[in-house]
Homo-oligomer: A and B are copies of this chain.
Amino acid sequence: MGSENEGIVFVGRKPAINYVMAATLQINRGVKKIVLKARGRAISRAVDVAEITRLKYFPGKIRISDIRTGTEEIINPDGSRRDISVIEIELTQE
């Protein structure tokens, strides 16, 4: 079906409502599946974005269809490495 039917929202350090608005905009344009992506401490915020979008903005219309976690390796400016957790939350229009 092409790119119109899937959207990605990267959740970072801004307030959750900013990302809720980004997801809402895409859903209202007809995008059927939105993937919220976050890592590290922004993971909690991504869950907030999913819950607020689902319950307050599209009650009964959007559901969380999948949640996946993983681990990525970050290379710091000094060359050291550390692991960071990542999450992907899939929102789908019913």
Binding site for B on A (CB under 8 A): 40-44, 47-48, 50-51, 55, 64, 67-71, 83, 85, 87, 89
With A67-B67, A67-B69, A69-B67 given, is the CB distance from A40 to B51 under 8 Å? no
Most B C-beta atoms less than 10 A away, residue of A44, A51, A71? A44
Q: How many copies does the complex hold?
A: 2
Q: Which residues of B contact A40 (CB under 8 A)?
A: 44
**Among candidates B44, B55, B69, B83, residue contacting A50 with C-beta atoms closer than 8 Å:** B69
Is the beta-carbon distance between A85 and B41 smaller than 8 angstroms? no
Q: Which residues of B contact A89 (CB under 8 A)?
A: 69
A42-B44, A43-B43, A47-B69 given. 15 additional CB < 8 A pairs?
Answer: A40-B44, A41-B44, A43-B44, A44-B44, A44-B85, A47-B85, A51-B69, A51-B70, A51-B71, A51-B83, A51-B85, A64-B69, A67-B67, A67-B68, A69-B89
